[in-house]
A and B are shown apart, each in its own frame.
Chain A
Amino acid sequence: MENFASLVPLVIIFPLLGMLINIFFGKNMGERAVGYLATLAAGLAFGVALIMTIAIAGNGFEASVVNMPLIANWITIPGANVFIPWQLRVDTLSLTMMLVVTGVGTLIHIYAIGYMHGDSRFPRFFQYLNLFLMFMLILVTGNNFLVTFVGWEGVGLCSFLLIGFWFDKTRGEGWRNSNAARKAFIVNRVGDFGFLVAIFLTFWTFGTLDYYKPGEMPYHPELTANIQNVSFAQNGGIGTHGVFILADQWLQDGNRTVAIGPYTLPLTTVVTLITMFMLLGVTGKSAQIPLFVWLPDAMAGPTPVSALIHAATMVTAGIFLMVRSNVLFHAAPLTSMVVTVIGSGTAVAAGYIALGQWDIKKVLAYSTVSQLGFMVAAVGLGGYTAAMFHLVTHAFFKALLFLGSGSVIHGMEHGEHLAHAAHGEDNHAHAHEGEHAAEHAEPVFDAQDMRNMGGLRAKMPITFWTYLIGTLALSGIFPLAGFWSKDEIIGRALYAATTEGRLEGWFALLLLIIAAGFTAFYMWRQINLVFLGKSRTAAADHAVESNGFMTLPLIILAVLSVFGGLLNFPWSLPGIAAETMGKALEATVSYASSVPFNLVNLVLALLTLAVALGAIWLAHTIYGKQALAEGNLDQLERGATRGLFEIANGKLYFDEFYGALIEQPYNRAAAWLADKLDWQFWHDYVHNSVIVAGFNGMAAFLSGPFDKGFIDGGFMDIGKGIQWLGRQIKRIQTGYVRTYAFTVLIGVLLVLLLILLPLIRQVLQR
């Protein structure tokens, strides 16, 4: 049989090619060509992923491992027994991610052609997007932790580049954008440190980083040069094992220990350590407490970036990693508990913060954090399938919502432009009067502030209806996608609490239901503020619907958001088997198990639905008549709820907390170091006093006493001495010949005496 899995390098190569072509020729190709090319690259990758999915569905979800061309023998240190090949893994999990990344990615590429129109760095934007796709696909396809880490760091880099894409905006906005980019990068560094330590520990413990899972028969990696790709059924296992196989076997052995430095730890402890460090990486990348603070700021990037990277794909890498490592997490109940608590805590905290935000994208950002919390909690509760299911549906409706918000922002900016064109002369004439004065008091028009919106429903119908679908899907309203996936997570919490008797299950259940209520509430508040009611500014009044590039992806994503639930439908429908995704993932995720859908679940689903509907009803009662209270205040910003709103608006003061805990001490330490250590001590004292003075003193000594005095003077003295000697010896040379003759005579007589001396002695002795 033709093995379609061997196509997998193409999903990485296509975006790479797209990027390279755009780098070298993008400047001269024109906007459309650049955009189409980048979209084509993403689309081709999606096509390849689709072919492989169909193929794998046809052969019973059998996983394959494919060698990356040219760099298959990636890291080989034979002496140290280190062999880390660059292999790509095609299984249901990586394919799920590939489909989401390339599918949503392609739609967002199309959208970006419209959104980024006229930007001065249009080609660069698409280069970055393609680069991001490449790294994300490396991340999801890698067959060992290190390849995943390469992708992990690569997407972090692209995230940094794209958040700070508008670093050169005027009026301090560029500065804010690049600060947000730096914040994202630095916060992620903390998480990456955790992931890296987890990788080191894994390698130390198991001696390999490969992802082969229990039941698979990995082949000897040194054979990679000869074997092009491996389908496990065809291959007898030869030797080397993957991390998960070893973990599975060794944990069953029991009593295994691992020597780490001077300590000898039981294997279960080490696995807990590994997963804990991995969790730190996850909290960074997937924006969980305590490292979620970067994600809301990351909204400084262009909206397609927010949709693609900071909602649909990159931030889900953490969930993907945990699902991939399910064997380890399954074996570490303590970590699973921490994961559950962090996930559900994040879900409810971020949901609460979202209630009090004014920026249309900030609401969605906190919503993303909250939904990622749902997924993380699902992983902690053992619901790996539920997490992946929610990941996929969330990618649909959150990308939809972000793109919708981008469309709104676009429309608002257009409206602002048109409003100025219409009232331009008016503005100048009555600059100091009436309502125009208020406009001038606020010099920068914020196209993202929901207080400036309202009544966009009539102006932007497609955006409104798709946004409404996204809202309902996110809120978990039957029968849209979010209902099924969210309910599966909540059902999982109940299952963990009751059947498995895990205490944190109850905790998660409570928090997640509250978070679901928050979700419905803040989304409906947003609908009211943005789309319903009357326009509150001239810009909103003049807003126009976006062009086809932007509305087409909205429509497609809206359709996906409606029908996304079918991916893992609890019952079989005509043409669709029950729990398609769950069955598929069970082939890959060893400890994926589906919760049987019974009456209790139905009651729970109805309860959750009731909570969501109740929250929507509440939000509609509060914001429905009049979205904003007097003085541009939120309806909740007065009376008894004012304090609660302000806490939400202040983002639970996490930034202030980190500011006080880390940033300010760091800045103070930096200032102290710069002033005291560098300037006063190093520059003033060491440099001026010690080095300069020392050098000057040394130079003065060398040039003065040493050179002039000793060397120069010494040679002068030698000269003088020789002169003196000459003057003394000169006296011998009298010039009188007779003196010389007499001297010769004396000399001759002395020689004679010397010769005759023995004779004389003989004579004297006789």
Chain B
Amino acid sequence: MPQAPTIPVEYFVLLSAILFIMGVMGVLLRRNAIMIFMSIELMLNAANLALVAFARQWGQIGGQLIVFFVITVAAAEVAVGLALIVAIFRTKRTIDIDELHAMEG
């Protein structure tokens, strides 16, 4: 089987890191709950990317397998998270994270 030219794994990891940092920044800097939510999704997918990349690099199926789990969990999380955001919005009339500090000690 002819050896197809391959993209080195460093590229994937780099992209994954960039995505992850973007996610982190989004979580920390955005105030809109939906945006934070999306940033979390971004971090999850950054992790997925890294997993898939390493799985391919080492020729092992385990990493790809975990990615499916992560996608499933992310889907469930989205369902619950969005429901929560809707519920919060209904009571507080806002989804600005900084307004929601009732748990302050």
Chain A residues with CB under 8 Å of chain B are 729-738, 741-742, 745
Contact = CB atoms under 8 A, between A and B. Distances in A.
A702 B43 CA distance: 66
Contacts of B98: 736, 738
Contacts of B9: none
Contacts of B103: 733, 735
A617 to B, nearest CB: 130
B79 interface: no
B86 interface: no
B24 A745 contact: yes
Nearest to B97: A737
B102 A741 contact: no
Given A741-B27, A742-B28, A730 B101 contact: no
Nearest to B103: A735
9 contacts: A731-B105, A734-B105, A735-B101, A735-B102, A735-B103, A736-B98, A737-B97, A738-B27, A738-B98
B100 interface: yes
Contacts of B100: 735, 737
Interface string B16-54: 000000001001100100001000000000000000000
Interface string B88-105: 000000000110111111
B28 A736 contact: no
Nearest to B104: A735
Interface of B: 24, 27-28, 31, 36, 97-98, 100-105
B30 to A, nearest CB: 9
Nearest to B30: A738
A733 B28 contact: no
B104 A734 contact: yes
B47 to A, nearest CB: 12
Contacts of B24: 745
B7 to A, nearest CB: 25
Nearest to A745: B24
B78 to A, nearest CB: 18
Contacts of A742: 28
Nearest to A732: B105
A735 B28 contact: no
B15 to A, nearest CB: 19
Contacts of B104: 733-736
Given A737-B97, A738-B28, 7 more contacts: A730-B105, A733-B103, A734-B105, A735-B100, A736-B98, A738-B97, A741-B27
Of listed B24, B28, B101, B105, residue having the most chain A CB within 10 A: B105
A735 B100 CA distance: 7
Contacts, number: 33
A670 to B, nearest CB: 80
A741 B31 CA distance: 12
Contacts of B102: 735
Contacts of B97: 736-738
Given A736-B97, A736-B98, A741 B105 contact: no
Nearest to A744: B27
Nearest to B33: A737
B22 to A, nearest CB: 14
A734 B101 contact: yes
- Which 4 pairs from chain A and chain B are nearest by CB? A733-B105, A735-B101, A735-B104, A730-B105
Nearest to B100: A737
A738 B98 CA distance: 8
B101 A741 contact: no
Contacts of A737: 36, 97, 100
B42 to A, nearest CB: 14
Given A741-B27, A741-B28, A736 B101 contact: yes
A730 B103 CA distance: 11
Contacts of B36: 737
A732 B104 CA distance: 9
Contacts of B105: 729-735
Of listed A730, A731, A737, A745, residue having the most chain B CB within 10 A: A737
A741 B36 CA distance: 11
A589 B24 CA distance: 130
Contact of B28 (A729, A732, A734, A745): A745
A439 to B, nearest CB: 111
A745 B26 CA distance: 13
Nearest to A741: B27
A733 B101 CA distance: 10
A678 to B, nearest CB: 71
Nearest to B27: A741
A737 B81 CA distance: 15
A746 to B, nearest CB: 11
Contacts of A745: 24, 28
Contacts of A730: 105
Nearest to B29: A738
A247 to B, nearest CB: 104
A85 B36 CA distance: 111
Nearest to A742: B28
Contacts of A738: 27-28, 31, 97-98
B31 to A, nearest CB: 8
Nearest to B102: A735
A734 B31 CA distance: 16
A315 to B, nearest CB: 103
B38 to A, nearest CB: 14
Contacts of B28: 738, 741-742, 745
A18 B98 CA distance: 112
B56 to A, nearest CB: 24
A736 B97 CA distance: 7
B43 to A, nearest CB: 11
A742 B105 CA distance: 18
Contacts of A741: 27-28
A756 to B, nearest CB: 14
A738 B27 CA distance: 7
A732 B24 CA distance: 21
Contacts of A731: 105
A735 to B, nearest CB: 3
A747 to B, nearest CB: 13
Nearest to A731: B105
A650 B21 CA distance: 132
A631 to B, nearest CB: 117
Nearest to A726: B105
Nearest to B39: A741
Of listed A732, A734, A735, A745, residue having the most chain B CB within 10 A: A735
B3 to A, nearest CB: 31
A729 B104 CA distance: 12
A734 B105 CA distance: 6
Contacts of A736: 97-98, 101, 104
A180 B101 CA distance: 103
A737 to B, nearest CB: 5
A732 B101 CA distance: 13
A737 B104 CA distance: 10
B20 to A, nearest CB: 11
A741 B102 CA distance: 16
A29 B36 CA distance: 117
A741 B28 CA distance: 7
B99 to A, nearest CB: 10
Contacts of B27: 738, 741
A733 B104 CA distance: 5
B105 to A, nearest CB: 3
A736 B98 CA distance: 6
B81 to A, nearest CB: 13
A735 B101 CA distance: 4
A745 B102 CA distance: 22
Contacts of A729: 105
A132 B97 CA distance: 112
Of listed A730, A734, A736, A742, residue having the most chain B CB within 10 A: A736
A294 B48 CA distance: 123
A725 to B, nearest CB: 12
